[in-house]
Amino acid sequence: MVKRFKEDVTRQSTFIGLRAWHEGESKELEKWIGFGFFNHIFLFKNGMLTLFYDVEEGDKFHEVLKEKLKEDFFDRLCEHFFEFVKKGKTANSNSEIYEILVRLWPAFTIFDELSKYPEIGNGYMIRRLIRLREHTESFSYELENRINEEEQKNCIFFQGKIFETSLEQFINEKGFEVVK
């Protein structure tokens, strides 16, 4: 069966930020919910990052999160998030920032999913998420802007590996399909 991918989001990023996103949404997210995104395709070009997610993984994530997202879990995730936001305010080195971003990505991902699909949570979680976002909406961008990188790479990043090729060529070589 052909793996299908869907374009999700494009944003400004550093290459270190890309690596943190990959690590955070794969291994770190798996620690939280027993599931991680290991098949993201990241297209990194001129400092802009476009994510293509594996449709099957996206469906599985939604199912797992519906099961795991309870108030006590959400409260622990929020406490974890604020702990690393606090650490991020004083982080200066690329390695410190990378580690903090990795640890924050599970919360970013779960908060985003709850925003898109509020029916997977409840009123308490939605209200807390709104308050949280009011105070931290730009935090990840501010943190990533402190990363010092000399050169941006133009590449595909997939399963922890760099591919210096076009998206079209990569998709064709892997036998993948991008769907709308």
Domain spans of the chain? 4-179
Ranges assigned E (strand) in the chain: 4-12, 41-45, 48-54, 155-158, 161-163, 177-179
Half-sphere exposure of 129 (CA within 13 A, CB side): 21
Q: Check residue 150 and give its pLDDT.
A: 73
pLDDT of residue 1: 81
CA–CA–CA angle 3, 168, 162 (5° rounding): 80
**Stretch 99-110: mean pLDDT:** 98
Mean pLDDT of 23-31: 98
pTM for the whole structure: 0.93
111, burial (CB in 10 Å: exposed 0-12, middle 13-18, buried 19+):
buried
Contact 11, 108 (CB under 8 A): no
